[in-house]
Chains A and B, each alone.
Chain A
Amino acid sequence: MSKPVSRRDFIRLAGLGAAGLTVASPFFDWKHGEILARDTMPGLYTKRTPTYCEVCFWMCAGWVHHNEDGEIWKITGNEDDPHCNGRFCPRGTGGVGMYYDEDRLKTPLIRTEERGKQVFREASWDEAYTYIAEKMNLIKEKWGPECMALFTHGSGGHYLGNLLRAFGSNNIAAPSYAQCRGPREVGFIGTFGEGIDSPERTDIRDTKCLVLIGSHIGENMHNGQVQEFSDAVDKGATIITVDPRFSIAAGKSKFWLPIKPATDMALLLAWIHVLIYDELYDQKYVEKYAYGFDELKAHVKTFTPEWAYGITTIHPHIIRETAREMANASPSVIVHPGRHVTWYGDDTQRERAIAILNALLGSWGRRGGFYNPAKPSVPTHPHPPYPKPKRDWRYAFPDKYKLAGLALASGLCDATVPGVSRDCNVRGWIVNGTNLIQTLPDQKNTLAAIQALELIVVIDTMPMEITGYADVILPECTYLERYDDLRISAHREGSIALRVPAAEKKYNTKSAWEMARELGMKLGLADYFPFKTQEAELDWQLKEMGLSLDEMRKIGVKKFPRPADDLYPLEGLPDYEFYTNTGKIELYATQFEAEGYPALPTYTAHEEPPYGFYRLIYGRAPMHTFSRTGNNPNLFDLMEENVVWVNPKVAKEWGLRNDQPVWLENQDGVISSSSIKVRVTERIRFDSVYMVHGFGHTNAKLSRAYGRGASDSELITRVHIDPEMGGTGMRGNFVTFRLEGAPEVQS
Chain B
Amino acid sequence: MTETTAITEELLRVEGVTKRYGANTVLDDVSFTIGRNEVVGLLGDNGAGKSTLVKIMSGVVPMTQGAYFWEGTRYDGIDRQKTEELGVETIFQDSALVPQMSITRNIFMGREITNPLGLMKMREMDRITTEILDTVVTIEGIKSAKQLVGSLSGGQAQAVAIARAVHFKRSLLILDEPTSALAVRATEALLAYLRQLKGEGVSSVLVTHNLHHAYEVCDRHIVMNHGRKILDVRREETSVEELTAAVVEGAVGVERFRAGTF
Chain A bound to chain B: no
Which residues in B have some Cβ–Cβ distance to A below 8 Å?
none
Interface residues of A (CB under 8 A from B): none
